[in-house]
Each structure stands twice: as C-alpha cells, then as structure tokens.
C-alpha cells in the first residue's frame, strides 16, 4: 500500500493535499510541529520515514512570514534551508522520491517578462534567500535520484492567514484597505498546487523521468496585489458585504521590512509541455473561496 509522507501538517498546502482524492490504496501521513516536536535532525526524520514505510515524501513545510524572516533569519533558515537539506539526505539514504514546494521570491523582479526555470535567481529577502538555499540543497544532493521542485506564486486559500483572509477580515471590520499596486504576480489556489504536486508524485512513483527536476506552477492570471484585492472584494460584494473603499499604494509607501520582487510572474511552459499540467485562473475559484472565508 503506497504511503506519501507530507512534512508540514497544518499549512494550507498540506491541508489541500489531505483533502485531495488519492488513488485507491494510497495513504497520506502528515507530520509537523506536534509529531516532530520541533526536531528537524536527520536521525529523527529518517526514523519517521522508516516507521511510516514511506514510498515518497512531500515537503510542504516552510517559514512563510516574509517580513518576520528579516528579524528571525535563523528560524527561517531552519525550515526553508536546513529542513530540505536534511530531507534530501534522508530520502537519498532510503532511496525515496522527494517533492518540494518553493517560491517566486527567489527572483528579484527585474526581468520584466515571465521567469523560466533557467533564469538566474537573485532573492531580495531573507525568505527568498533561505528558500533558494533549500532548493540548491535538494539539487546538489548527489545521491538523491528522484526529486522535483515546484516554484509557485502567491499561494492562497481560505486556510490560515492568507491575503484574501486578511483583506476580508479588515473589510468586515471597516478598516482602511490600502494595497500595493506595483507588485505583479500570479495568484495560485492552494488546492490547484496540491493537485499538481499529487500528479508529479504519482508519476515519480511510476518511474516517469519527466516528472523530475525544477518546475514553475502558478495561476493562469497575472495581476497586481491591488488587482487581486479588487477581484476578492467584488466576489465579497456578491454576498452582501459592503467593504470600505480600496486605495492603491506603492511598495515604497508600504515600507515593509522585507524587499519583494515587483514582477515575479512565472512561465509554466515547462510543466505544461512535459507533464500536461496547467493551473487555472484564480477567478474560477474565487467566489467559493470568498464565501467560505466569510462564513467563518
């Protein structure tokens, strides 16, 4: 009975993986802070994978608080760099495939055109730097025969403290809605990313070489955060919510601790051509997501 071990049990990606329909006979085992008790050492992780009888590992764990990472670089490095390195070593020793989720923030946003997998990374923040270190640890784990890294952009869902959740919380409270209009990316529904990871994992278990390597996977629509906020609030208005006016601001006006790429649109041509996988436009799931958030 094939078993997929997912590291990162409480995050939106892990929860989306749990919610998927898996082929008959497959089981998922999610591990995170509770079961690992903060211990990310190689011996413990190898023991967990052996005890579970893992056939493949998905790393969905990450330190994603981009601004907090600037003042907590060691915490960000532990999850974003050291954990992937340790998992890669454990998977290499046990000859298990590893699928890892990464980010568009490994780029500096200066290209002005969609980024492809061969573009040189140049992260601007501690978050982006540590995520890149995690990628390279996997790529350079010479004994790891089967691995895949999926870089995604602006992953959102109704789980956790994602952009739509925070925006609607402020809108419902009547707070000022100020959103940057000069950062562009591709919002990606977490369940859509989970389905892509599932497909990559299943193909790796089938021994398909095309499912190995570095891929970009993100939503089909590119927009600014302000444009995304407009869409979220338009969906919210359908439910009867009357939000305050939305104000566009610049990144400079936001004055956030971490620098972000102003343009981090990803080209998904490789994963589409190699595996036939394409993400949907964020609009296709937005009404459902907004209703779910507002119902809480």
Instruction: Record the pTM.
Output: 0.94
Q: Is the pLDDT of residue 40 over 80?
A: no
Q: What is the fold of 3-155+189-219+266-279? A: Rossmann fold (3.40.50)
pLDDT tens sequence across 112-121 = 999 999 999 9
Mapping DSSP onto H, E and C, the string for 17-60 reads HHHCCCCCCCEEEEECHHHHCCCCCHHHHHHHHHHHCCCEEEEC
User: What gap in Å lies between CA 258 and CA 35, rounded to an integer?
Assistant: 31
User: What gap in Å lies between CA 258 and CA 274, rounded to an integer?
Assistant: 35
Residue 63 is among the residues annotated as catalytic for this protein: no
Residue bearing the bigger pLDDT, 46 or 179: 179
For residue 36, name the pLDDT band (cuts at 50, 70, 90). low
Q: Of 105, 127, 226, 263, which one is the catalytic site residue?
A: 127
User: What gap in Å lies between CA 224 and CA 260, rounded to an integer?
Assistant: 13
Copy the structure tokens of residue 33: 């802070």
Least confident of 7-11, 147-151, 233-237: 7-11
Report pLDDT for 86.
92
Residue bearing the bigger pLDDT, 126 or 44: 126
For residue 38, name the pLDDT band (cuts at 50, 70, 90). low
CA-closest candidate to residue 99, choices 195, 219, 218: 195
CA-closest candidate to residue 79, choices 39, 24, 22, 123: 39
pLDDT tens sequence across 232-278 = 999 999 999 999 999 999 999 988 999 999 999 999 999 999 999 98
pLDDT tens sequence across 199-220 = 999 999 998 888 899 999 999 9
Report pLDDT for 208.
84
Number of other CB atoms surrounding residue 176 within 10 Å: 9
User: What gap in Å lies between CA 184 and CA 3, rounded to an integer?
Assistant: 38
Q: What number is the average pLDDT over the span 47-63?
A: 92
């Amino acid at each position: 009975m094939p078993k997929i071990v997912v590291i990162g049990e409480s995050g939106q990606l892990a929860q989306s993986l749990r919610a998927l329909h898996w082929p008959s006979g497959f089981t998922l085992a999610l591990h995170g802070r509770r079961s690992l008790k903060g211990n990310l050492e190689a011996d413990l992780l190898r023991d967990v994978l052996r005890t579970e009888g893992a056939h493949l590992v998905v790393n969905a764990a990450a330190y994603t608080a981009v601004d907090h990472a600037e003042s907590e670089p060691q915490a960000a490095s532990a999850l974003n760099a050291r954990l992937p390195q340790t998992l890669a070593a454990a998977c290499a020793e046990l000859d298990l495939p590893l699928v890892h989720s990464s980010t568009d923030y490994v780029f500096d946003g200066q290209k002005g055109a969609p980024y492809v997998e061969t573009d040189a990374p140049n992260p601007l923040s501690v978050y982006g730097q540590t995520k890149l270190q995690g990628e390279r640890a996997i790529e350079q784990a010479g004994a790891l025969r089967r691995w895949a890294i999926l870089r995604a952009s602006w992953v959102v869902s109704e789980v956790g403290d994602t952009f739509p959740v925070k925006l609607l919380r402020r809108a419902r409270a009547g707070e000022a809605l100020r959103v940057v209009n000069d950062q562009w990316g591709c919002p990606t529904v977490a369940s859509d990313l989970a389905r892509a990871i599932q497909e990559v994992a299943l193909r790796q278990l089938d021994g398909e070489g095309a499912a190995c390597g570095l891929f970009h996977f993100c939503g089909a629509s590119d927009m600014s955060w302000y444009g995304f906020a407009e869409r979220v609030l338009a969906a919210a208005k359908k439910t009867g919510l009357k939000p305050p006016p939305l104000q566009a601001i610049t990144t400079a006006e936001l004055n956030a601790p971490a620098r972000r790429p102003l343009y981090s649109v990803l080209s998904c041509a490789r994963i589409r051509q190699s595996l036939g996988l394409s993400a949907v436009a964020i609009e296709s799931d937005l009404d459902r997501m907004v209703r779910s958030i507002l119902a809480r």
